[in-house]
Structure 1
Amino acid sequence: MTDARAPPDAEPRDPDALLRRAGVRGNPDRDQHFLVDDRVLDRLPDYASDFDLSHVLEIGPGTGALTDRLLAVADEVTAVERDPKLAAFLRREFADEIAAGRLTVVEGDALEVELPDFSASISNLPYGVSSEIAFRLLPRKKPLVLMFQKEFAERMAADSDTDDYGRLSVSAQHYADVEVVEPVPKEAFSPPPAVESAIVRTVPRDPDYEVGDEAFFLGFVKAVFTQRRKTIRNAIRNTAHISGLDDADAVVDAIEAGETDLDPDVLRRRAGKLPPETFAALARAADEHGRGETT
């Protein structure tokens, strides 16, 4: 493979010039807010400096301002862009890098296209589908540096017994250590979005608890947090139609009778006060005592 990286002293592509050459403007109605702050663009790859950058996946490259910086540090980049006009521009703008085999532009929806076997993902995600994309990437157990709405980012990284802690915190931290590494102001984008943003760094790791059925565990967490103001006893009973339990009362009875490894006092607590390992124990109890035979 020919190395088409720019020389070390080469200036990165100017994000405003890229917008002009592409002949596009961001469209909030299409969830298009282009990151144009050079300082933020330059720092994004720095947060992945200790990652394996042999094959970086970028979701939502837009006009390629971040793509350009990723090509300076990665051996290979795959960029997934759903806008046909932008995908065509990227193929023109980065024709040399594509010819050298260092960049692949995939035109399509990141929730639908087949993703490559990437080593890390560094992306300014389209906010309207950022949650769905994050939970497509997290189970791949690869390190990530992703831009989110600030509120979403803070909920991803929140500790139990804090106001931001919820279903998103438990689900994201099931797959990785999650850290908010930098807030990003609205003015860093063109056009500015209505909300502040933040960069999140995730490092994959196995959880320090066991779950038998991961899909059931995540669904159980989702169900219980729909009743976060209720006690766990009532949340389990009220959400059987969401969690897929056949007999929610049997779960509560088993915990109260000491037939599980849970302290019965947990039934009087609320979801926002429970750490992930307690949710794992609750899900195991629910799976064992509240679900019918599955095939």
Structure 2
Amino acid sequence: MTETPTGSRDPDALVRRAGKRADTRQDQHFLVDDRVLDRIPEYATEAGVDLSHVLEIGGGPGALTDRLLAVADRVTVVERDPDFAAHLRTEFADEIAADRLTVVEGDALDVDLPKFTASISNLPYGASSEIAFRLLPEKRPLVLMFQQEFADRMAADPGTDDYGRLSVTAGHYADAEVVETVPRTAFDPQPRVTSALVRTTPRDPDYSVPSDDFFMDFLKAVFTQRRKTMRNAVRNTAHISGLGDPDAVVAAADEDLMSARAGNVTPAEFADLATLAHEVGDPEA
């Protein structure tokens, strides 16, 4: 039986009970700072997020899981490490029996995700980008831990040094904000970089695109040559964007836009250009 009330388990004690240390080769860095752990759910509650079913990616020894169970009606944890998945089932046996916790053993990029109302997670950094962009199209609020560099790029505005493909792609699905910088000392073992928490609020963009897939491919293409003008970026990356006639796009597009560089182009301008490219650029089917 669980002896410790939900929401107050000691992170270091959880690691000891798990009987397994973090494997940095598997990108495991456990968040063990009680103050940070306590604050993470607050970034969701203060925003009025629906916490009836929270999805956590990467439960590890269960410190964040414990905090989430204190505020959520139900929690589903996806954990790819079989040892930690087994530990979570033992540690939170009461919560599982009460149908408040489900532990899914597997890779978050491969398993079928449940219907969830929010995701709050300390993501494995090596897969953080792929996981984030699996979650964002679900249009649910997120509070996710990333490397700070990634977090800053995700929330960056046009014309800033951090602005790029990641900023536009994330902003296509949600408003993103960095709500807290988390020092290396909050983790065990300590990662080599500072971390940051990002909160996203889903919304529809204020522009339209031919399709999300084409828009994402177009962004990927032009941002590979972000230091060149859009004119050259469009022409030089047809093998990525799938355009059969990039010259037609350049000829039809606004001259000022074609003279700009990707880092200074707004999401709405990218959307307009992608729409034009889809119409006149003979994209591959």
TM-score normalised to the size of structure 1?
A: 0.93
Amino acid aligned to 2:11: P
Which residue of structure 2 aligns with residue 175 of structure 1?
A: 173
Matched residue, 2:156: 158
TM-score, with normalisation over the residues of structure 2? 0.96
Shift in Å, 1:26:
1.4
Q: Is 1:31 aligned to residue 27 of structure 2?
A: yes
Please show how residues 90-239 of structure 1 align to structure 2 within 5 Å: 90-239=88-237
| Shift of residue 11, structure 1, vs aligned partner | 5.9
Letter of the structure 1 residue corresponding to residue 265 of structure 2: L
**CA deviation string 1:246-292 (max 9, x = no partner):** 1111111122xxxxxxx321111100001100000110011001125
Which of 78, 81, 91 pairs up with 2:79? Answer: 81
Question: Structure 1 residues 293 and 147, CA, compared in 2 at 3 Å: closer, same or farther?
Answer: closer
Does the alignment pair 1:21 with 2:12? Answer: no
Q: Find the aligned partners of 1:128 and 1:112 in 2 and give their Cα distance.
A: 15
Provide Cα deviations, 1:182-205, integer angstroms capped at 9, x if missing partner: 000000000000000000000000
2:272 is the alignment partner of 1:274: no
Partner Cα distance (1:267, 1:200) in 2: 33
Cα shift readout 1:197-249 (whole Å, capped 9, x = no counterpart): 00000000000111121110011011100000100000000000000101111
For 1:288 and 1:154, locate their aligned partners in 2 and report how far apart those are by CA, in whole Å: 34
Distance 1:293 1:225 in 2: 20
Number of residues paired by the alignment? 281
Aligned AA (2:271): A
Alignment gaps of 5+ in structure 1: 256-262
Aligned: 1:284 with 2:275: yes
Distance 1:89 1:236 in 2: 51
Amino acid at match of 2:280: H
CA distance in 1 between partners of 2:157 and 2:201 (Å): 16
SS at match of 2:198: strand
The percentage of aligned residue pairs carrying the same residue is: 71
In 1, are the aligned partners of 2:85 and 2:103 still within 8 Å (CA)? Answer: yes
Q: Which residue of 1 aligns with 2:240?
A: 242
Q: Give the counterpart letter for 1:100 in structure 2.
A: A
Residues 231 and 150 from structure 1, CA distance in 2 versus in 1: closer, same or farther, beyond 3 angstroms? same
* Alignment partners' CA distance in 2, 1:14 and 1:43: 15
- Runs of 5+ consecutive residues of structure 2 not aligned to the other structure: none
Q: CA deviation at 1:23?
A: 0.9
CA contact (8 A) 2:245 2:282 kept: yes
SS of the residue corresponding to residue 49 of structure 2 reads: coil
CA deviations 1:40-89 (Å, max 9, x no partner) are 00000000001000000000010000000100000000000000000000
